[in-house]
Amino acid sequence: MTNRRQFIKITAFGAGALAIGSGAYKAMAGFSSTTEAAKLTVNLTRTPTYCEVCFWKCAGWVYKNDEGKIWKIIGNDDDQHCNGRFCPRGTGGVGMYFDEDRLKTPLIRTSERGKQIFKQASWDEALTYIATKMKDIASKHGPESMALFTHGSGSSYFSTLLKAYGSANVAEPSYAQCRGPRDEAFMATFGEEAYSPEITDIRDTKCLVLIGSHIGENMHNGQVQEMSDAIDKGATIITVDPRFSTAAGKSKYWLPIKPSTDIALLLAWIHEIINQEYYDKKYVEKYCSGFDQLKEHVKDYTPEWAYGITTIAPDQIRKTAKEMANAAPAVIVHPGRHVTWYGDDTQRIRAVAILNALLGSWGRRGGFYRPSKQAVPSSEHPEFPTPAKTWSDAFPGKYSVASTPVSNALIDASIPENNPGFAIKGWIVNGTNLVNTIPNQANTLKAIQNLDLMVAIDTMPMEITGWADVILPECTYLERYDNLRVSPHRKPAIALRMPATEPLNETKPGYWIARELSKKLGLEAFFPFEKQEDFLDWQLKKIGSSLEEMIRIGVKTFEREADDLYFANDEAIEFPTDSGKIELYSLAFEQAGFDPMPKYIAHEEPPAGFYRLIYGRAPMHTFSRTANNPNLTDLMDENTVWINPKVAKEWGIVNDQYIWLKNQDEIISEFSIKVRITERIRWDSIYMVHGFGHAQKQMKRCFGRGASDTQLITKVLTDPLMGGTGMRGNFVTFITEKTEQEVAS
Ligand SMILES: Nc1nc2c(c(=O)[nH]1)N[C@H]1C(S)=C(S)[C@@H](COP(=O)(O)OP(=O)(O)OC[C@H]3O[C@@H](n4cnc5c(=O)[nH]c(N)nc54)[C@H](O)[C@@H]3O)O[C@H]1N2
Ligand SMILES: Nc1nc2c(c(=O)[nH]1)N[C@H]1C(S)=C(S)[C@@H](COP(=O)(O)OP(=O)(O)OC[C@H]3O[C@@H](n4cnc5c(=O)[nH]c(N)nc54)[C@H](O)[C@@H]3O)O[C@H]1N2
Ligand code: SF4
Ligand SMILES: [Mo]
């Protein structure tokens, strides 16, 4: 399998020169401006943080008013992730603190699971309950029968706890429900992933190809800003999307592809680029392996062949291939991020990676830059015990390309009748709303019903907390320290998050929760620092900074050790793949029994009267985590279903009407959704924003507003390589009136 040597430049410990960040930027719609806020905030205290509203992790300043209350949050000028500006969601992040529906105290379930009858408990009581059950599970089934599902900053503490306890089953939905296929595809091709933030050099690109990446609605801050700059500088944008996205509106070419057929388009582009000899011959010869096999493989995949599949006209395919070639190597075929669509996703992103390799964009200005990351020391603790079994033993031989645990496989392993190699008996769920995040809700709920222990750590009473035995209320990111942000970027940098204020009610930081639980389990040696701030200060001093300095500056940017943001001309490079080359033909996939080069496979089409359910993001919300946020519900408080006018006419459906959606498995949306009739969606599909249709009554602002896409995603197209859950193989039809019986069900 792929060799996983780290190729990224990790800057050694030791003080580097502090770079003075540029504060220059242009005003962009929806983004907050530092200057306006700075004028207003003279004499007010400010504390540094990095945003937790999404995983771009922009660094900013939290300002308080005269009464010492949190007032507003703005971007840190020195931060490469945001260049001094937050997106609307980040600005609205203070609403997470003020939300009166927040979890307030630990809770222990007193009735059947899912009935939502809980009693208030003290922290000691709640943690003792969990520790007793965990010890019981360890003695009866072995510690490897516990699993952690986690997303966000607390992941490292709870992961340390679980590993110390003896289990390596730590799964993040950002792998098998999000970017896993992309990471494995890039790893197989370049020996390296696409990272977060992505190493796309959009700032200097001449051509950006977006295949379903809806940057602009997907508000990943730095990318949106760089894309806006690139457009101003005349870059060509090519958008492939069945929907006229915000990005499509800025594009020279919008290719309204028939959904699920992207691999055919990608193969035709590869065919054209090879046949017209548009590819970077020197680069391919020097750095790539498998070119002859690839040429042979794509010889029949002509634009005419792809036309019949994708509905994109051959001359459009040819023209766009030429655009890419003209811009090369300053061209980016964007790797995407949420790429779990049709179950052949790793292979689709392989085609994306291959296209980038042919155009010579990897390691080149305007293509993909070389990331650099600041190394920070970790605290010393005993070695983790070696678990007797790990997640992959539950279903031997499955998902062999997966490099991290697969959340859905752990869920399946919690259902005894699946006869897994070993069964999962307990879950800790931190910062992920699994019920709305993992497709096939019935399966997730069935798994929960089979558990001996289910703990949810959250800030809000979400769907997932409703199913827990014990709910632990974390304070929000505005009320706590967390680990330093050390994400790679053009320059290595660190950012500090610290509490702007005391935690409200009985809520506690994740570090404290994990450490207190470790004490009850006799594992406190794994958390040697009582207070996280002491750990941070120790760590910062080791790299020539201090907590005091970071509180003052928030972000510290170091210089790169060498001038190596891009490959030098003719540089000899050994890529961290099996062959040491960029693999157009993947030896690792072949060895694992999968296609070494991507193939197009036709997917099921919607039956008569049904439409493909596709979904995406809205600029002012993040999944379900912001649905109840008072500041952001002001901007958008429900989702709509986009329907093509031709379809609406056939059904007699009108704008703003509320309808229900029914899927191929007879599942009817629990709540109705407002209709938006628009030419911006193809006639064979409907579109909705993910994260609405909440069924949790305690969230008073968002309960019952809009519909949940997850509820309608009952059919899952699983990626055989790495277990990703393809979610776009579901079809829906319309119900304009619900019978009484249906409404009650
Ligand atoms: N149907 C469908 N499913 C999807 C997607 C989709 O578009 N459609 N998108 C997929 C993608 S790309 C991803 S990355 C995943 C995301 O999946 P999740 O990370 O599960 O997303 P959220 O629904 O926002 O759930 C986050 C949970 O964390 C809680 N939370 C927020 N802040 C904190 C905090 O500081 N501490 C703690 N302990 N909890 C906190 C929130 O209240 C919420 O319950 O979903 C995937 N699933
Ligand atoms: N505002 C906001 N921004 C976010 C997030 C958020 O919750 N809110 N979440 C962040 C996260 S974790 C992620 S992973 C990213 C996700 O953002 P992206 O990676 O950009 O999202 P996708 O879900 O891949 O893409 C959604 C788009 O794909 C199109 N599409 C649907 N089916 C097909 C198809 O078959 N072919 C093609 N070519 N296109 C198709 C849809 O019409 C839609 O425009 O967004 C990030 N940014
Ligand atoms: S992109 Fe927006 S929501 Fe995400 S971290 Fe940055 S400011 Fe926060
Ligand atoms: Mo994601």
pLDDT per residue as tens digits for the range 108-119: 999 999 899 999
Average pLDDT over residues 26-30: 38
Question: What does the alpha-carbon distance between residue 210 and residue 334 come to, in Å, rounded to a whole number?
Answer: 6
Contacts of 138 (CB under 8 A, 6+ apart): 145, 146, 165, 166
Indicate if the pLDDT at residue 32 is higher than 90: no
Average pLDDT over residues 718-745: 85
End-to-end CA distance of the chain: 48
Atom of ligand 1 nearest to the CA of 434: 20
Testing ligand 2's pocket by substitution, the residue of 257, 337, 603 carrying the most ligand atoms inside 8 A of its CB is 337
Question: What does the alpha-carbon distance between residue 206 and residue 390 come to, in Å, rounded to a whole number?
Answer: 45
Residue of 573, 625, 632, 603 whose CA lies nearest to 460: 625
438 — pLDDT class (breaks 50, 70, 90): very high
Indicate if the pLDDT at residue 65 is higher than 60: yes
> Does a cis peptide bond (omega within 30 degrees of 0) precede residue 329?
yes
739 — pLDDT class (breaks 50, 70, 90): low
Phi, then psi, of 704 in degrees rounded to 5: 70, 10
CATH class of 179-370: alpha beta
What is the pLDDT, as a whole number, of residue 694? 98
Ligand 3 geometric centre to CA of 218 (Å): 10
Ligand 2 geometric centre to CA of 179 (Å): 11
pLDDT per residue as tens digits for the range 498-522: 999 999 999 999 999 999 999 999 9
What is the pLDDT, as a whole number, of residue 251? 98
What is the pLDDT, as a whole number, of residue 328? 98
What is the pLDDT, as a whole number, of residue 406? 98
User: Judging by DSSP bridges, how do beta strands 555-557 and 717-718 pair with one another?
Assistant: unpaired
Where do the domains of the chain lie? Answer: 1-100+477-508+529-566, 102-172+404-474+509-528, 179-370, 611-744
Average pLDDT over residues 388-408: 96
Average pLDDT over residues 74-87: 98
Ligand 2 near 52 CB (within 6 A): no
CA 503-504-510 angle, 5° bins: 45
Q: Do domains 102-172+404-474+509-528 and 179-370 have the same CATH topology?
A: no
Ligand 1 geometric centre to CA of 156 (Å): 17
Atom of ligand 1 nearest to the CA of 464: 44
Angle between helices 314-327 and 345-359 (to 10 degrees): 50
- Which ligand has its closest atom nearest to the C-alpha of 642? 2
Q: How many Å separate Cα 271 from the centre of its chain?
A: 31
What is the pLDDT, as a whole number, of residue 113? 94
Where do runs of H (alpha helix) occur along 635-679?
645-651
Contacts of 472 (CB under 8 A, 6+ apart): 106, 126, 455, 456, 457, 458, 508, 513
| Cβ(668)–Cβ(744) below 8 Å | no
Atom of ligand 2 nearest to the CA of 210: 38
What is the pLDDT, as a whole number, of residue 473? 98
pLDDT per residue as tens digits for the range 625-683: 999 999 999 999 999 999 999 999 999 999 999 999 999 999 999 999 999 999 999 99
Ligand 4 geometric centre to CA of 284 (Å): 32
36 — pLDDT class (breaks 50, 70, 90): very low
State the architecture of 611-744 in CATH terms: Beta Barrel (2.40)
Residues 34, 37, 43, 48, CA torsion sign: negative
Angle between helices 262-275 and 314-327 (to 10 degrees): 60
CA dihedral 358, 359, 363, 366 (to 10 degrees): -160
Indicate if the pLDDT at residue 40 is higher than 80: no
Ligand 2 geometric centre to CA of 558 (Å): 32
Phi, then psi, of 132 in degrees rounded to 5: -60, -45
Q: Residue whose CA is closest, atom 40 of ligand 1?
A: 431
Average pLDDT over residues 210-229: 97
How many CA within 13 A on the CB side of residue 459?
Answer: 30
pLDDT per residue as tens digits for the range 130-179: 999 999 999 999 999 999 999 999 999 999 999 999 999 999 999 999 99
Q: Residue whose CA is closest, atom 8 of ligand 3?
A: 90
Average pLDDT over residues 54-73: 95
**Range with lowest mean pLDDT among 309-323, 699-713, 727-741:** 727-741
CATH number of 102-172+404-474+509-528: 3.40.50.740
What is the pLDDT, as a whole number, of residue 297? 98
CATH number of 1-100+477-508+529-566: 2.20.25.90
